[in-house]
Amino acid sequence: MTTALKIGINAVDIESVAGLANKIREVPEVAASLWKATVSWDGGFRSQAFVRDFQPVGSDEPASLGGTDTAPNPVEQLLAALGNCLAVGYAANATAAGIEINDLRIELSGDIDLHTFLGLDPEGNAGFETISVKVHLDTDAPGDAVAELHEKVISTSPVGHTLARAVPVDIDLA
């Protein structure tokens, strides 16, 4: 038996989200979740990420970095992950607040100095120095409601929180 989704404004099934929040209030252990991905190398700088039962997501480097430019590279995917997470946050929180989104576009960019990646500065930072995000939100909601929505999204973004603080990463050779 399939259950029809109850889609509200912004095409969000807010009842499912509220149901999960209520379940977590009742049974806090339900909040602990584990997310997984497996990456398989395809030769050169090409690889594929496998997540749940979805089609694989390709990765490659641009030709200027020795790749064949067949897919976004990992740092572009990281920017996209942040943008996608923010989009989910805007959709969910706007819907919960009764705010209809007419259009939402999120532009992201990040600065990387390639010295460390290329082995030219082993003491440096191979990652982003900064990440800039510009949110273009078109809604008829009043400015104070939009500002409150924006703060709520920023304060609850899992990917945003992950990037904004040091997270232990254990990388083992099996």
Q: Where are the domains of the chain?
A: 37-71, 72-164
Beta bridge partners of 44: none
Give the model confidence (pLDDT) of 65-113 as tens digits.
999 999 999 999 999 999 999 999 999 999 999 999 999 999 999 999 9
In this prediction, residue 7 carries a pLDDT of 76
pLDDT (0 to 100) of residue 8: 78
- The stretches in the chain having pLDDT less than 70 are 1-6
Amino acid at 133: V
The helix (H) or strand (E) run that includes residue 95 is helix 74-96
pLDDT computed for residue 6 by the predictor? 64
Residue 5 confidence (pLDDT): 56
pLDDT at residue number 23: 95
**Domain covering 72-164, topology:** GMP Synthetase; Chain A, domain 3 (3.30.300)
